[in-house]
Structure 1
Amino acid sequence: MANRLQVILPSVINEFQSAFVPGRLISDNIILGFETLHWMQNHRQSRRGYAALKLDMSKAYDRVEWNFSEAIVRSLGFDQSWVEKIMKCVRSVTFSFKLNQHSFGALKPHRGIRQGDPLSPYLFALVSQGLSSLLIHAKQKKFFRGIRIANNCRSISHLFFADDSLVFFRADTQDAVHIQNVLQIYEKALGQVINFDKSSLSFSPNTLPEVASSIKNVFKMTVVQGHEVYLGLHTFSARSKRTQFGYLKEKVADKIQSWRHKYFSEGGRKVLL
């Protein structure tokens, strides 16, 4: 079923989502995100400021509401028989507890999709269409405005990679309020919860301090100078590459150091080599 579903994803999932969709690469949104953030940081002449909202969903897979998932899949035009098959796979899961080598009980959850299930990434990509559609609708109604980095290009309002999201908008308090309303609707419908500790907000240098403060109060998130890392990569290049990427060498060295205290099996040694 996962293989059959994968084939039709490009026709039902819009271009703002680059995760798990055949023909799309993680680098697609990385390049778009980097270019937009770079344009923001160099946008100093105009009086009009811009903002970027980096969102992280807490336990995204575990909080997916089944009824909402079913409604989304049905609204995308899937046949009823397909919807029933997909939801049967989702709802058939049970959990048991192991105590002293014996299994007890059969706990049946009422929400969430399983990690490791080949169907789960595709189902989450379908579900994320809910947030994307809400943002597109709000933008079309001019409740908020995205970023247009050149005269002949499209306005960019958001970029998704699974549950990792970037939302771009004009630095205006009313725009921020409308986006916050969209996020609250999505949280309530899907059961998602924004992780404010990992989410952040950044502004272009020409944004007025009082406007930035007002928008910060709307989202109640940490304001950063610029989103330094997006999808694991640095958004801005430092003059010293040794300084920028030195942490990778340290991480590898720490990992190798920890191996000295472990005894590898024959298979583990082969993997290491």
Structure 2
Amino acid sequence: MAKAYDRMEWLFLEGMLRALGFDRSWVELLMVCVTSVKYSIMVNGEIAGQAEARGDIHGVRVARGAPAISHLFFADDSLLFFRPCEREAKHIKECLESYSSASGQLINFEKSSAVYSHNTSPPVRALVSEIIGVPEATDLGRYLGLPSVVGRNKTAVFRCVEENIRARTGTWQNKLLSRAGKEVLLKSIAQSLPIFTMSTFLLPMRVCDSLEKMFNRYWWGGGRWGYR
């Protein structure tokens, strides 16, 4: 949404809609939707999100003064953020049960997991996990091929980028390729593999140096990949 919501002027969008012949009332309604940063969902005539509005649950903030985030949805994955205490855990459980009752869908608690901060004591972790009915996990694993939690040892975390390049290029018939063919493979495939990771994380210099050495060995060393 960065291109649509951060790089387009609202006056330009409104002018284009009017120029294309859309009805004035429809254009005004659409502009109210896209220019507003706050949305509300009505459920049976009542505004949803009452648990957070009442202070029953509290989300997390990425920085001081930033808005609190209580949940994130993407496709069929959901992330819920709340304080690790008995009171908020019970409210979260009630919200999940209300959703199941209203939608007819069942939540698979066995495939769900709870991740806690390092400041949360083991007894509190056990209590919250028991109330909600989900096991505790050290992290959320990988999501869309990227690690969900990056610790201090970033070099070991992003070692998967090097392994991915090694796996993709290991099947190439490198010795039979010309210099032009090697250049195409390097630029179109090998060098493009880390782009997705680098668009989200700042890779350590050790990883970048290792990738550069791998590319250099392939270019100058007859196609042999490895670590030094």
Q: What TM-score results when the alignment is normalised by the length of structure 2? A: 0.49
Higher helix share: 2
Higher strand share: 1
Structure number with the bigger relative contact order (C-alpha 8 A, sep ≥ 6) is: 1
Q: Which has the larger radius of gyration?
A: 2
Q: What TM-score results when the alignment is normalised by the length of structure 1? A: 0.41
